[in-house]
Structures are given as C-alpha cells and as structure tokens.
Amino acid sequence: MVGLQHRSRAVTGAALRADFPVFERPTASGRRLVYLDSAASAQKPRAVIEALAQTYAHHYANVHRGIYELSVDADARYEGARRSVAAFIGADSPREIVFVRNATEAINLVAFSFGRSNVGRDDLVVTTELEHHANLVPWQQLCAATGATLAHVRSTDDGKLDLDDLRSHLERGPKILAVSHVSNALGTINPIAEVTGLGRAAGATVVVDAAQSVPHMPLNVAELGADFVAFSGHKMLGPSGIGVLWGRRALLDAMPPFLTGGSMIRRVTLDGAEWNEVPWKFEAGTPAIAEATGLAAAIDYLEGIGMDGVRAHERELFIAAWSRLGNMPGVRLLGPDDPDEHAGVISFVLDGIHPHDVATILDREGVAVRAGHHCAQPLMDRHGVPATTRASFYLYNDHDDIERLADAIVATQRVFGTA
C-alpha cells in the first residue's frame, strides 16, 4: 500500500491531478478535463489502480476458505483493509465494519435486518426531506412491510434541516431516525452530532448516511453518536463495488442476517443453520476482495493528505465558487451560503435553460457536471424545480476549474441567448 510516501502532502488541486491518470485523457474540446462530478463518483489515483492490479496479479484467491499460502495472503489483505477502514473512521473494532457493495446496500441491510425485527405497525420511522433516495426508499419499504408510519423532517428554503421540526418529530418517540450527514443534491452539511444526540436522547436508533461526508471531511464514529453509518468506496477515491456499514457491535450481534448462503454461517444442516459472528454474518458469498484492498489504498492516500486538509481545500473552493457564480446574472444557487454549513457541492439553475442543456454545453467546454434530480426527487419538488445542475469538488480541483466552469456557463447562456 502507498502510505508514507504521501505523508503531509498539501491539497493543491493541480499538483495532485498528476496522481490521477484520467486527467491525461484529452477531451473533445481539446482542453484539459475539468471534473466536477465527484459527488457521483470520484476519480482514482494511481495508487488505488495499482493496488487493484497488484491484488489480482499477485495476491488473489478466495478469502475465508483456503488453507494454502495464497488464500491466507488474500485473507490477510482483505481483513487488513477492514482494519484500515475501522481506523479511518475511529471504530472501536474492525468487527464493527461490514463490507457491502455500496451505501445503498448498507442502508438496505439496516432497514431489512434491524428494521424488520425491531419496527412494528405502531412504530414511527423518521427521515428527512434532504435525503438521497437510498436513505428514503428502504424506509418506505420497511414501513410498507411492517405497517409502521414514515414521517419526514422539513427543510428550510435555504436547504437546511428544520431542527424545530426534527424536535417535534422526536417528541413522538420514533424507533428509527435516518438522516444524511451531507446532502448530495444541495451540499448542506447537517449539524450531525447535534442531530444524533437529539435522536438518541429521544430513544431512536440513528442511521447516518455518510456517503457524502466520509470522503470529504474527518468523521469519527466514536464521537458521532450514531448507531449505524453507511458510505461507499467509490466516492472516496476507491473502487466501485465496495461500501461500508459501520454499526454498534451490540446491535450488529443482535441482528438477523440480511443475505444468506456461504461464508455467513458457522454450521449448516439440511434443516437449518447457525450464523457466523459479525461482521462475517453479514457478508454472504464471495466478497469484493480486490476492491477491499483498493479501498485501503484510497484510505492511505487520503490519510497521506489528511482529512482536515481535504475539507479545508473544498471549503475554500466553495467560498470562491459561491461568490463567482452568485455574482453572475441568470444564475440561481441553492443551499445554505454559510461555508461551515455547505460542502463542496454547488447546485444551481440557469434562468430559461434546462439543466440537461446546461450540462451538455458545459461538456462541450470540457467541464463534466451532473444534471438531473440527483436521486433526490422529493427535494427537487420542495424547491419547485425538476432538476438542477450540480458541480461537486474534490482534492484534485482548483480555482482554475471554477473559472472554467464560470466561462462555460457564460458560453451556455450565449448559446441560449440569455446572457
């Protein structure tokens, strides 16, 4: 794994781009690629790509099965990756780390396994208007299956969680509070420690969707006060196909399995089975072996820079982009304007131009952004728009990228005659 060679590197955007082969790719515009879609999926540094290749080339066998040297090696690297994840998020033990495919699967695991054995028809599940569909639809399904009631905390006009509304929902004693740390659609950073504190004080089991926070800011589960935390590897420079569910050990121990079959059992007879211990109880079948080592390499890379540095860099880019775009005629920005409450994600609407058209013209200028509902349709409804254009930053972006975005917006307005 990479590790020390990256220690104390500054987050400088342009300099770090050299670590990411994708930025060598020419664009149809003939200009360098400006990648502003990391909220959807992040690009991969060479260290991650090499870790995947090394595992497949020299360390690959199935895990938890073989007693031969190669399999023991593969197993050690897979379990080593689990220890890296645990240390990265401050978990008490690697046994609290369940490898899943992505944040979506992590939340489904909790909704199915914890939810169906703890939530009944008289119970209340609370989520919020700010959620990605991944932290909404599984709770809808849970409530449909159990007869429980689903309620949503309102958000404010500037895209923040309405904490008074949260408090009034919590007075009704919900069984589960499912809330995101950072909104993927608006970039809002929720005051998550306060929210988890309120939720647990009200007796709720608190599930935090950290898909947009773990990649971009320090997060320590021991301090967070949540019961479950979900995130994806691919948004934090790691491979796709691997994600993480962190859960309190006592809760994980008590939960029934989600998927069943090989690996997750201790003993099977023709009539029944005994479950393995956590976390393996939740890892049925052959897991994402090489991807786990790729995720560990991504963590090494991020730690070499430091999550405080990543967050500070994105905060600075947010301030610059918010002011640059906010001063452009015909541009409407969504979400809170306070940089302490807004991650490196800017959602905007151009007067008279559909976001899909905006993204198409931006692409012609070599600027990759996301347009659409961002898997947050209720939030789009709340703001009275069918879609937005979203620019999201990471450690390989810089001020020049913001200028390229602003220029491309002007070019789009010219094409549509709205400039």
Contact status: 108 vs ligand PLP (CB under 6 A): no
Contact status: 134 vs ligand PLP (CB under 6 A): yes
Helix (H) or strand (E) holding 232: strand 228-232
Q: Which residue number, 255 or 376, has a Cβ lying nearer to ligand PLP?
A: 376
Structure tokens at 152: 């949503």
Q: Which residue number, 59 or 311, has a Cβ lying nearer to ligand PLP?
A: 311
- CB count within 10 Å of CB 51 equals 30
CA atoms within 13 A on the CB side of 127: 28
Structure tokens at 6: 């990256």
Contact status: 44 vs ligand PLP (CB under 6 A): no
**One symbol per residue from 308 to 347: x for binding ligand PLP (CB under 6 A), - otherwise; what is it?**
----------------------------------------
Angle at 25 between CA 22 and CA 28, to 5 degrees: 135
Task: Give the Cα separation of 333 and 351 in Å (integer).
Answer: 11
Select the residue interacting with ligand PLP from 211, 252, 298, 353 (CB under 6 A): 211
Closest contact distance (angstroms) between CB of 212 and ligand PLP is 5
Contact status: 103 vs ligand PLP (CB under 6 A): yes
Closest contact distance (angstroms) between CB of 185 and ligand PLP is 8
φ, ψ for residue 109 (rounded to 5)?
-60, -45
Catalytic one among 193, 251, 375, 406?
375
| DSSP structure class, residue 312 | H
Residues 231-250 that bind ligand PLP (CB under 6 A): 232
Select the residue interacting with ligand PLP from 127, 180, 397, 412 (CB under 6 A): 180
Closest contact distance (angstroms) between CB of 284 and ligand PLP is 18
Select the residue interacting with ligand PLP from 184, 205, 347, 397 (CB under 6 A): 184
Among 353, 357, 349, CA closest to 391: 349
Q: Both ends of the chain: CA-CA distance in Å?
A: 50
- Exposure string (b/e) for 105-115, b if CB count within 10 Å is 16 or more? bbbbbbbbbbb
Helix (H) or strand (E) holding 391: strand 388-392
Contact status: 104 vs ligand PLP (CB under 6 A): yes
> Which residue stretch of 55-63, 101-109, 335-343, 351-359 sits at the interface with ligand PLP (rule: CB under 6 A)?
101-109
3-state DSSP assignment of residue 350? strand
Burial degree of 45 (CB within 10 A; 0-12, 13-18, 19+): buried
Q: Which residue number, 180 or 293, has a Cβ lying nearer to ligand PLP?
A: 180
Contact status: 146 vs ligand PLP (CB under 6 A): no
- CB count within 10 Å of CB 261 equals 11
Q: Which residue number, 108 or 276, has a Cβ lying nearer to ligand PLP?
A: 108
Quick check: 400 and 14 in contact, CB under 8 A?
A: yes
Residue bearing tokens 């870790």: 51
Does the active-site annotation cover 143?
no
Contact status: 155 vs ligand PLP (CB under 6 A): no
Q: Which residue number, 84 or 128, has a Cβ lying nearer to ligand PLP?
A: 128
> Which residue stretch of 58-66, 96-104, 199-207, 324-332 sits at the interface with ligand PLP (rule: CB under 6 A)?
96-104
Task: Give the Cα separation of 336 and 226 in Å (integer).
Answer: 24
Contact status: 132 vs ligand PLP (CB under 6 A): yes
> Which residue stretch of 28-36, 108-116, 206-214, 281-289 sits at the interface with ligand PLP (rule: CB under 6 A)?
206-214
Name the E strands within 72-118: 97-100
**One symbol per residue from 290 to 309: x for binding ligand PLP (CB under 6 A), - otherwise; what is it?**
--------------------
Select the residue interacting with ligand PLP from 128, 188, 212, 397 (CB under 6 A): 212
Select the residue interacting with ligand PLP from 19, 209, 398, 401 (CB under 6 A): 209
Quick check: 134 and 107 in contact, CB under 8 A?
A: yes
Contact status: 289 vs ligand PLP (CB under 6 A): no
Beta strands 205-209 and 228-232, pairing class: parallel
Binding site for ligand PLP (CB under 6 A): 102-104, 132, 134-135, 180, 184, 209, 211-212, 232
Question: Catalytic residue positions?
Answer: 375
